[in-house]
Amino acid sequence: MTQKTRPRQGRSRTVPPPAEPSERGEPESVPEAALDAEPEADAGAAADTSARGAKGGADGAGAELPADRFLDRERSWLAFNERVLEMAEDPATPLLERTKFLSIFASNLDEFFMVRVAGLKRRIATGVATRSVTGRPPREVLETIWEQAGEQMTRSAACYQSTVARQLADEGIHLLRWPDLTEQEQIRLFSLFRKKIFPVLTPLAVDPAHPFPYISGLSLNLAVVVRNPATGHKHFARVKVPPLLSRFLEASPQRYVPVEDIIAAHLEELFRGMEVLAHHVFRVTRNEDLEVEEDDAENLLQALEKELLRRRFGPPVRLEVEESIDDEVLDLLVRELKIRREEVFAVPGPLDLTGLAAIAELDRPELKYPKFVAGTHRDLAEVESASPPDIFAALRERDVLLHHPYDSFSTSVQAFLEQAAADPDVLAIKQTLYRTSGDSPIVDALIDAAESGKQVLVLVEIKARFDEHANIKWARKLEEAGCHVVYGLVGLKTHCKLSLVVRQEGEDLRRYAHVGTGNYHPKTARFYEDLGLLTADPEVGADLSDLFNRLSGYSRRDNYRRLLVAPRNLREGLIARIRREVEHHRAGRPAWVRMKANAIVDEAVIDELYRASQAGVPVDIWARGICAVRPGVPGLSENIRVRSVLGRFLEHSRVYAFGGGGESEVWLGSPDLMHRNLDRRIEVLVRVTDPAHRSTLTRLLATGTADSTASWHLGPDGRWTRHAVDEEGRPLRNVQEMLIEARRKRRGA
């Protein structure tokens, strides 16, 4: 199935050959309980990676690096979404999970066009676009996006049509079109149409007296051609599919039809006295990135609200149509929307597969990953019971390293804040909120704390992309409850994940803290993989006090005890530690670099990784999405390998670990290695000091990047190759399933 040549002709894609077996050694061993390693295990892993690095690379420090050393960011992102699509295409993925991956793929692509493509088009239009770091002109980058995105959309539609929908039907879940319904089902849906759909529809005619209507971004629409039987004249009209309706409506148990099919089947009800000649479904994606002038923080809230209204009218950046659309109707849409033909994507219907998320939620457990329910972390409750753990008592004994969703969020981070809100000895709570759910128990706990007389400071990042409306709403709710709400620093987003509790204990005040990699979002904590550190360490508490004073007031402190903070010293701190590994390697001490992040594109950090590789230091990168590193290039990066893991959980944690000459140094926190994170956001990394925790994290990184773990491998040409089976065809280990099994065994023991 190929895309129509009228909007854009796709090209064939070359499948990369399998990668050669790695000559790098594996970790000494990878225990089933990968997060339960003993401290001394770290030394074995460190020695092993140092031995691997000794095989290659002369000392390249100070050598000039080649101009083509970076991979293209946009291509790398498209490659990430292709990996998502591969999960949907994989027969080994449970069927409803494949359905969900199709929805995620479509949602990812929507956001990519709304932000990245829209931004690139805007820079080209205003004449400020420059060549990318790969040297490609902006127009060429845009053309590549159109081509690759079109090919992927065609693959996604084919996966849905020829595989997923058919296999769902075999399991009794039918995704049908209107002609496939029985007469009784059509009668039932006609009744539904008359009662619940027809009253909210508004057909808009297009003629000299009625200009072409505004088409809102991501809305589904019907382009309708009607004829007046009295005059014989043809007319065009647009019918918007109400966005509050379910994407797929149930005609009878487990038989579903797209809502636009129901509307299309009853267009005569909307155009009484006219002949309906044709109808075609289309969808527009618009520029929905925000541009807010932040010269006055006091007016930021009002400025953002105005910009949110303005965003609805951003210029179009993509037009999706069903491939059966008439040329005449397509010409009209292209002309009226002022969109280029290259930005038109024609695919088999139905459009907007993001709606498959609802189908994926059907109660059919046999078609999903086996259910996993997270338990309470063992350091918070040795024996799980109905009584909640005493978080403060546990933290006075030791730091607690959390790994969600394997460790329960509700009985750790959420319980920490709820206990703080209810504890009469707690005097103050300070909290950052970047994204949270609409019915968040975190917000409720903060409100309860404020209403009980505690000092509550909440830094709400109202510029969190696509969550601006929700964050404004909750910011006002918190203010009304008596919380001190601030909106961060002018020109910077506050992306760090921090919580600080101040408690009166006898004559002293003790500070308890949480530093994490994920948002304080109880719902996403069930399927986002994240790390967090709960601690009563005085240095961390003092650091967070200083940082919150900077965020809420005029403190200018830049140096911290156990934190690296962007934009002041985070990039420089990481670069210094990479260079230190080179020194360790030269001195014959264990040296290695391991990183886990969502995106790695910062040129300065990447260049240091190249120099470390040239010096012989092994570098392992676990990247979920974008990665501009070009690994495996002789003389540049033969000691660098890059892996990506996709699975039932969204890999979201960020960890940066260094061999340290035998005494590993490990940091976790909020930042990815991108310009926006290191230069335009408040980001925080906290140094992990407990030897067992350091060992746990370094072994986790070793496991995720090991050749014996199922993953995608990045080649020097920018192509990702999936490695799911070994040379004998046996499935490789799945790191997420290993961690699930470790938790189950631990609870069973």
114 φ, ψ (degrees, to nearest 5):
-65, -30
Q: Which residues are marked as active site?
A: 495
What tokens does 362 get?
């059907």
Tracing tokens 């004449």 back to the chain, one arrives at 127
CA gap 515, 531 in Å, rounded: 9
Beta bridge partners of 205: 237
Q: What SS3 state is found at 723?
A: strand
% helix, strand, coil for the chain, step of 5: 40, 20, 40
What tokens does 614 get?
């040239």
Beta bridge partners of 654: 669
Roughly what angle, to the nearest 10 degrees, separates helices 603-614 and 570-586? Answer: 0
- From the CB of residue 11, how many other CB atoms can be counted at a distance below 10 Å? 9
The CA–CA distances, whole Å, from 500 to 417, 426, 542, 631, 683 equal 9, 11, 10, 40, 16
> Which runs of E-coded beta strand occur in 487-604?
493-494, 497-505, 508-516, 528-535, 563-566, 593-597
What tokens does 170 get?
């075999």
CA gap 672, 676 in Å, rounded: 9
CA gap 285, 263 in Å, rounded: 22
Q: How far apart are the first and last CA of the chain?
A: 52
What tokens does 607 get?
């260049």
Residue closest to 663 by CA, chosen among 81, 128, 186, 40: 40
- DSSP letter at 453 equals T
